[in-house]
Amino acid sequence: MPVTKAGDYVVVLEPAPYYEESEDIFIQQLTKVYFNNADLPTDWMEPQGLATEILPLNKPYNIVAGSTFTGQVLSEGKPVAGAEIEIEYMAAEPNLATNAAGEAVAGPMPGGAVVAVSDANGYFTFGVPKAGWWGFAALGSGPVKEHEGKELSQDAVIWVRAWDVK
């Protein structure tokens, strides 16, 4: 679908669960990414009605490196207290022309994954240290807990974009 109107757009991916052999569980990541056309903000702060999702409280396509990103974890539209949110930096952005990963610009995080925990109202905040794409995954925050007789981690995922100030 071509983007012709000014405003916010959200791309939602609701994939089927996949089996993660190393953990002996199924994982389903309900994922959102936002973009804007013509610098006219419209409805980036509205929930998409997913089984679980992270509602952005900052424009998710216009975060300044060195500032913060705040989100609210929702399950069936209600806040999720105590959700564990894994935070990832996209170290190698995809090259869409070649359908391959670009050159890595960052290595693994010292000490492993960065993790935040949502408060009693489902909110969390992360200080965004550098420009680029940042992913937030609220692990197991969804209402469905089983798939094909095994544990299911139904995760809310959002990707946000941070920019350097020029």
Q: Is the pLDDT assigned to residue 89 strictly greater than 70?
A: yes
Q: What is the CATH number of domain 7-13+23-163?
A: 2.60.40
Q: Where are the domains of the chain?
A: 7-13+23-163
Q: Is the pLDDT assigned to residue 92 strictly greater than 80?
A: no
How high is the pLDDT of residue 1? 65
Summarised one tens digit per residue, pLDDT across range 17-34 is 999 999 999 999 999 999
How high is the pLDDT of residue 94? 77
Q: Is the pLDDT assigned to residue 69 strictly greater than 80?
A: yes
pTM, entire model: 0.92
Instruction: Count CA atoms within 13 Å of residue 138 on its CB side.
Output: 31
Summarised one tens digit per residue, pLDDT across range 51-64 is 999 999 999 999 99
